[in-house]
Amino acid sequence: ALAVAMLVMVASFRQSLDQWLSDMLPADLYLRQTARDSAQQGQPMPPGLAASAARLPGIARVAAQRTRDIGFTVRGMTGSTTLLARPLDHRLPLQGAAVALPDGVQPVYINEAMRDELRLAPGDRFTLRLEGRQLPVAVKAIWRDYSRQTGAVLMERRDWERLSGDAAITELALWLRPGADPVAAQQALREASGTPDSLEIASAGELRRFSLAIFDRSFAITYWLQAVGLGLGLFGVAASLSAQLLARRREFGLLLHLGLTRAMLRRLVLAESLLQAVAGALMGLIVGLAISAVLVFRLNPQSFHWSMDWSVPAGRVVALLAASLIATGATAAWASARALRAGRGEALRAVREDW
């Protein structure tokens, strides 16, 4: 049950992360400054870099993003959060449905951490504070944000520039023309910036592979835990089966006296053990799926503010159950061979003791 629960939870998280990366990284290349401010946000890029990048050969489209800290007021409570102002012309990984807002209300998206911390829901209104200015906004929807465990607000960049007058850029997303060389495009971007060593440039594929590699390293321990759990289960099977065979030695002696061979007894014990193993595997599957549902739908959102889609990797679950049945059968065969090693005379003495 523990192995199934961990397998389903990790697979659900990984598939949700993979889909989130596909939704949040629609461009081919991403560029930002290496320098950070006091809040560890990227420093604004040189003015005109976005326009220069758009004129480079091989670049089909450029989208700018502004990331910065911003204050907020919610029901009299004040604090600060991260603002991401970017073009919202692509599919967002929403948690739940978006709501329709009245005309004249500025829509924003908040992540799950901010929703849980401030008890906000789609349709609720609050205020963003920027250098003494108050920007009334309303929550249009909740979006999944696997990149942070703290609150964040997402807004259309054109609306942000109109409301705040802040036209600074901290990140660029770039789409390449068909057939363009990504390496040549990156080199051209560095040269156009004037300070090539101050830029970080990565492709969407590199960011995706890097993120999934970190995920796999972080959850590699779960595979060892599954192996340890399976090993402990097999140890319990061997101990329990040995005790049962010892308690049934009079029964086996009688069966030997009636003409059954040790090979027939071993097959009988193996069949009984496999039937018990199948019943145990089915019970473990049901309990494991139930535990994984608790982990996916309750524990993970409450602990990390990250929701995910429940996904059962059928092939890996079947392989795990098959491995446990094979290992149980091998353990039962070993235990029965060891217990039935006694000679016929000893078995008959066990029968006479019973009489």
pLDDT per position as a tens digit, 56-76: 999 999 999 999 999 999 999
The three-point CA angle 220-223-229 to 5° equals 145
Nearest to 154 by CA among 276, 67, 253: 67
User: Counting every residue, how long is the chain?
Assistant: 355
pLDDT at 331 over 90: no
The pLDDT score that the predictor gives to residue 349 is 59
The pLDDT of residue 127 is 96
Question: Please, are residues 42 and 32 in contact by the beta-carbon 8 Å criterion?
Answer: yes
CB atoms within 10 A of CB 206: 13
The phi, psi pair for 344, rounded to 5°, reads -65, -35
pLDDT: which is higher, 36 or 122: 122
Structure tokens at 51: 């326009």
Q: What is the pLDDT of residue 36?
A: 62
Q: Comparing C-alpha atoms, which of 40, 27, 57, 23 is closest to residue 201? A: 27
Over 90: is that where the pLDDT of 234 sits? no
Joined together, the tokens standing for residue 351 give 């029968």
pLDDT beyond 90 at 18:
yes
Nearest to 285 by CA among 316, 309, 308: 316
pLDDT at residue 252 in the model: 74
* 129 SS3 class: strand
237-290 confidence digits (pLDDT tens): 777 777 877 777 777 777 777 777 778 888 888 888 888 888 988 998 999 999
pLDDT at 345 (0 to 100): 54
- Determine the pLDDT at residue 38: 52
Which pair of structure tokens corresponds to residue 197?
A: 């060593």
* pTM attached to this predicted model: 0.84
Strands (E), the chain: 29-33, 59-74, 77-86, 107-111, 125-130, 133-143, 152-156, 171-176, 199-203
The rounded mean pLDDT for the chain is 87
What are the pLDDT digits (tens) for 115-161?
999 999 999 999 999 887 899 999 999 999 999 999 999 999 999 99
22-36, 191-205, 226-240: least confident range: 226-240
